[in-house]
Structure 1
């Protein structure tokens, strides 16, 4: 086995976790999150109910566990930014790299798996509330990071909220257009330009944005 390569046991555990997750998502998408029991998921995935809970601590984790880390994407980008790079430049660069990679977490992958997760989440009040709370937690962590670096809590909160809102708006637009019938390729084709405009608005401030004609 090559150095760093996962062993057979690790691979089998990863395969089991993925099978449970995909099985649960299919059932949730078909019947609704609240209408599916963990026992039904276990039976469909051909594992025990205890195995489901061993891999996922709760029924909600079956949706959130594989994606929750993405609520910290902006924090990670800023924390790991390059020498001389600003917080905005880091978040913008990271997002544009995800656009180029057609990352599922920003809604640009042709595989509909990520959109099914979002559909289940947005149609289930408890999951939707957890998503909003996780997004807010990510923004707060970014604000805390920036406060620690700059010493200015107010500006850090404003910067974190604005950067997080810009990312969220872009991701939402990807999903909105694809849900409306546009192809992933069409949406991805102008995603970089759309992101550049969004982050330019953040960079230069609102200024004359939406000034009412005299």
Structure 2
């Protein structure tokens, strides 16, 4: 029975990957809106019903792999080691993904991955769904944090989750910008790691004096600049 279940699971994984690959190829060739689910099913040699047995929507034919990572953030803090802080656990998992050139943190320079990413960026329906998955990931993280703390710390769970996910998202976007510009993942990795380390340090230790203006460059200077504008307008 164990072998039968294992074989069944392997077949389901293979079918899911075939659907993702087939759909992506059609979408990249003809455009997302120009390809129907029925056409994907035909190309993958399965029924339309089979497609929806594996995917809940047309968007998931592209974003299914992303959907599978929704729980990663929550899992990283749920499985933290004894004595390990939430930030340390989240950072450890994120850094491991960076060093593994994982697509989930924007570190894969495989042409296919970049093409699919570009498709998502250029397709409103996919972009909306991708943002929804990010929101769900943050919500699951906040729930996990609240469940593992109590009192005032539990009340701060949504704030902490937002901060951690913001680091993840910002580094992810930084990586993609450089990969789309033609750099390799190997070239981007050292800067991505350094950026992530600095960003997590801000979360861990607080913003402190980040962004403090030099003495004499604060409100007084701004007021002076603002005072000059009416005079210029009057002269006109």
**Same-fold call, TM cutoff 0.5:** yes
Match for residue 102 of structure 2?
103
Residue range with higher mean Cα deviation, 72-81 or 24-33: 24-33
Match for residue 150 of structure 2?
150
Match for residue 85 of structure 2?
86
* TM-score, scaled relative to structure 1: 0.89
Deviation at 1:63, TM superposition (A): 1.8
Q: Secondary structure at the match of 1:113?
A: helix
Q: Is the 8 A contact 2:109 2:179 kept in 1?
A: no
Q: Secondary structure at the match of 1:213?
A: coil
The answer for unaligned runs of 5 or more in structure 2 is: 216-236
- Rounded to whole Å, the distance in 1 between the matches of 2:18 and 2:3 is 26
Going from structure 1 to structure 2, the CA distance change for 1:176 and 1:110 (only over 3 Å counts) comes to closer
Q: Which runs of structure 2 are paired with 1:92-131 in the superposition (5 Å)?
A: 92-131=91-130
Deviation at 1:88, TM superposition (A): 0.4
Q: Secondary structure at the match of 2:156?
A: helix
What CA deviation, in whole Å up to 9, does each residue of 1:114-154 have, x standing for no partner? 33332222222122122222212221222222223233344
How many residue pairs align between the two structures?
Answer: 213
Q: Which runs of structure 2 are paired with 1:152-191 in the superposition (5 Å)?
A: 152=152, 153-191=154-192
What CA deviation, in whole Å up to 9, does each residue of 1:50-81 have, x standing for no partner? 22222212211212222213232211101111
* TM-score, scaled relative to structure 2: 0.81
Q: Secondary structure at the match of 2:19?
A: helix
- Rounded to whole Å, the distance in 1 between the matches of 2:4 and 2:111 is 31
- Rounded to whole Å, the distance in 2 between the matches of 1:13 and 1:158 is 38
Going from structure 1 to structure 2, the CA distance change for 1:64 and 1:184 (only over 3 Å counts) comes to same
Match for residue 213 of structure 1?
214
Q: Which runs of structure 2 are paired with 1:21-32 in the superposition (5 Å)?
A: 21-32=20-31
